[in-house]
Structure 1
Amino acid sequence: MKTAEEPTPNLGQTLEWLRKELAEMQIQDQRLLLTLKHLHSVLEELRAESAQWEDARSSGGTSPIRARAGSEGRSCQPISSRQLTHLLQSADSRRSSLP
Structure 2
Amino acid sequence: MKEFTGSFLLGSAILLAILIFFCMIRAVKGPRFTDRVVAGNMISTMIIVILAILSVYLEEPFLVDVAIVYAMLSFITVVVLCRLVIVRRRVHEREEQEDGKR
TM range (shorter): 0.3 to 0.5
Q: TM-score, normalised by structure 2?
A: 0.41
- Tell me which of the two structures has the higher relative contact order, counting C-alpha pairs closer than 8 angstroms and 6 or more residues apart: 1
Q: TM-score, normalised by structure 1?
A: 0.42
Q: Counting helix residues as a fraction of each chain, which structure ranks higher?
A: 2
